[in-house]
């Protein structure tokens, strides 16, 4: 579509007729994105292990707002579960246009790391021993499975259906959106080395998938969103101003002095999934209220 009408937000961001799948779509950031995609007209399958959580979201969605939300049980760390979900989408839709890899957890945390007056900070030996004893290899392995490896396995499982979706409209490719984090970009550990390094892996997976698919001639765009502090099951349901920096655990406070909103999260996802973001490849959009602008980071 071209001409003046195509510049209207209602047209540029329209997702009518598009089929989406959002992992971890029943709560927190995943729910924000799911509702945003549906409001833009998409048919959105939300996945998770707890069907009752998904069904509650489906029952509460007002179809008059737009789109549709459907529940689909899937464990992103289980290949058989991923394949079963893929089969359902394949049978019901025959294609997929939007895949949002959002499912994630916090994992091993050493809450004493930033309390430099605590006994664990007596000297290097004491701190090293405290960190060594507080975390486990299994904990790290489990967290990497859901925060990093799942992106690879879910994306590859649905790749064929995504490529099929790209055939619908010439030049309007299907897309993968990975939800990474500023935690993978900041150089402070925020008391969880494992989570931050796993999110860094997710960021690089985004770049590798984008490049490899492009080199192989597969018409699927891959990008990422790196959120700062948002309300979620990993933080709290409502992030008040006084909690923003306690959650962010930065060297400097968040310039915006507030958490991000559902509208800001959903709007970014809709942009990347719609015609408005149709020329974006291999990028990671940071939406963090200025956190990385004032804290040590790689960007």
Residues identified as active-site: 181, 195, 199
- The whole-angstrom separation of Cα 172 and Cα 198 is 31
Whole-number Cα distances in Å, 142 to 139, 184, 247 = 5, 17, 22
Residue whose C-alpha is closest to residue 227's, from 185, 180, 293: 180
Angle 127-129-132 from CA coordinates, rounded to 5°: 110
222: which strand partners?
176
- The whole-angstrom separation of Cα 241 and Cα 233 is 18
CB atoms within 10 A of CB 140: 17
**Token pair for 230:** 């948002």
CB atoms within 10 A of CB 186: 26
Q: Who's near 273: CB < 8 A, 6+ residues apart?
A: 15, 18, 20, 37, 40, 42, 97, 98, 175, 177
Helix axes 262-273, 28-39, angle to 10 degrees: 60
- The whole-angstrom separation of Cα 23 and Cα 73 is 9
**Token pair for 53:** 């959580």
């Amino acid at each position: 579509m071209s001409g003046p009408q195509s510049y209207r937000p209602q047209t540029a961001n329209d997702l009518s007729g598009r089929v989406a799948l959002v992992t971890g779509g029943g709560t927190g950031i995943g729910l924000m994105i799911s509702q945003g995609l549906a409001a833009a007209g998409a048919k959105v399958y939300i996945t998770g292990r707890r069907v009752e959580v998904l069904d509650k979201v489906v029952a509460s969605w007002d179809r008059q707002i737009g789109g549709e939300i459907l529940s689909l049980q899937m464990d992103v760390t289980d290949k058989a579960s991923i394949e079963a979900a893929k089969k359902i989408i394949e049978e019901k839709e025959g294609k997929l246009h939007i895949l949002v890899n959002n499912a994630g957890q916090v994992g091993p945390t050493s809450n004493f790391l930033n309390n430099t007056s605590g006994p664990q900070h007596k000297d290097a030996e004491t701190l090293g021993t405290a960190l060594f004893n507080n975390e486990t290899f299994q904990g790290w392995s489990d967290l990497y499975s859901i925060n990093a490896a799942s992106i690879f396995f879910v994306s590859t499982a649905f790749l064929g259906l995504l490529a099929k979706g790209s055939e619908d409209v010439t030049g309007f490719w299907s897309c993968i959106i990975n939800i990474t984090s500023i935690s993978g970009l900041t150089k402070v550990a925020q008391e969880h080395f494992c989570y931050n390094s796993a999110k860094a892996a997710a960021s690089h997976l985004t770049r590798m998938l984008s490049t490899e698919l492009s080199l192989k001639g597969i018409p699927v765009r891959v990008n990422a969103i790196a959120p700062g502090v948002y309300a979620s099951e990993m933080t709290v349901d409502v992030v008040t101003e006084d909690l923003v920096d306690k959650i962010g655990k930065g060297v400097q406070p968040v310039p915006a002095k507030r958490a991000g909103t559902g509208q800001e999260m959903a709007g970014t996802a809709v942009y990347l999934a719609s015609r408005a973001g149709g020329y974006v490849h291999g990028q990671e959009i940071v939406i963090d209220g200025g956190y990385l602008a004032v804290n040590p980071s790689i960007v």
